[in-house]
Amino acid sequence: MSVQYVKHVFNGSLRVVGKGIWRDLVNIRRYKLRLIGWLMNMMVGLGAAYIFGVILTFNPITTSETGILSTQVFVFFAGGIALSTFSDTALWAPLGRVQQDIHYGTLEAVFVSPTSRIAYLLSPILSDSILNLLFFVPAYVIILGVHGALTNGYVIGTTLLTVLLTIISMIAFGLFFAMLAILIRRIQPIAIFLANIFQFICGAFVPVQAFIGMNKIGGTILKYIVQMFPYTYCYDLFRYFMFGSEYTTLFPVWLEFVLLVVSSLLFVVFAYFLLKRVEKKAKDTGLAIL
């Protein structure tokens, strides 16, 4: 494989991603209610986080396991809600693109064109991530302000790094689900179920460290299960850099970074093999399978 060929493939993939992002950003202007809906969801989420922060406190076991104080409950919930906007994007954007093209009968064109299918699936994730930044930033500023870290460069830098890693890791998970959507029609109900489960058990609203306080056996098993998903370390690292060293992570911070990268790469590998299976099946039985 020549360097010129690799360069040609890379440039072609970049064009696919760029055109896809441009198309999505242009289309969103035609559906302004979608933007309003996203804004309302974020406002409702922050309102719920405020209510939880006022009326709820963590039990002694949760406090001892995580190091989160009762006065930090709002920041805990609000951070999970803000960060989950990117996990939703990465899961639903490629899945929605595949289902949309299946509905309009245009998915076949993607598979017969000499372009990267991965680039095709990356573009909706990146365009939705750009749009979600519009709603994440105000929520993020509110969280920093309440936490008293609005001028703390270390907190801002490390939490934004975690946000970037979250987007990258969710891209891997989203690609995996998009491939499943091609192989298994009508996967959306399953995706809804899994998205809700993942957000809950991976730490968006409940500290994973507190599972053992709910049920010693069941909580321990659940804790081992969620350690397989990159979601878990995204939320855990975000809380660590937001709350500081008093927050107790599941694993040492350096190990969580390693686990986040490794688990993300595994989902990319799974997605790649699923893509090859789809392409092989399409060649063997025809594009009707798409």
* In contact, 131 and 35? CB cutoff 8 Å: yes
Mean pLDDT, consecutive 10-residue stretches, the chain (290 aa), reads 64 72 74 72 80 76 77 85 77 74 69 69 79 83 88 90 84 76 70 74 82 75 84 90 88 92 85 77 61
Q: How many domains does the structure of the chain reveal?
A: 1
Q: What is the pLDDT of residues 22-68, one digit of tens each?
A: 777 777 777 667 677 777 777 887 887 888 777 777 777 777 778 88
Q: Say which DSSP state 162 is in.
A: H
- Residue ranges in 56-152 assigned as alpha helix (H): 60-66, 73-104, 107-112, 117-147
- The predicted pLDDT at position 274 comes to 78
Cβ count near 149 (within 10 Å): 19
Question: What is the distance between the alpha carbons of residues 249 and 128, in angstroms, rounded to a whole number?
Answer: 30
Q: Which of 76, 241, 255 is nearest to 162 (CA)?
A: 241
Question: What is the distance between the alpha carbons of residues 290 and 284, in angstroms, rounded to a whole number?
Answer: 12
The helix (run of H) or strand (run of E) holding residue 260 is: helix 253-285
Q: Which residues contact 116 (CB under 8 A, 6 or more apart)?
A: 9, 12, 13, 16
- The predicted pLDDT at position 252 comes to 92
- Which residues constitute the domain of residue 132? 3-289
- The predicted pLDDT at position 282 comes to 66
Q: What is the pLDDT of residues 102-129, one digit of tens each?
A: 766 667 666 666 666 777 777 787 888 8
Q: Residue 244, by phi and psi: left (phi above 0), alpha (psi -120 to 50) or beta?
A: left
Q: Which residues contact 268 (CB under 8 A, 6 or more apart)?
A: 172, 175, 176
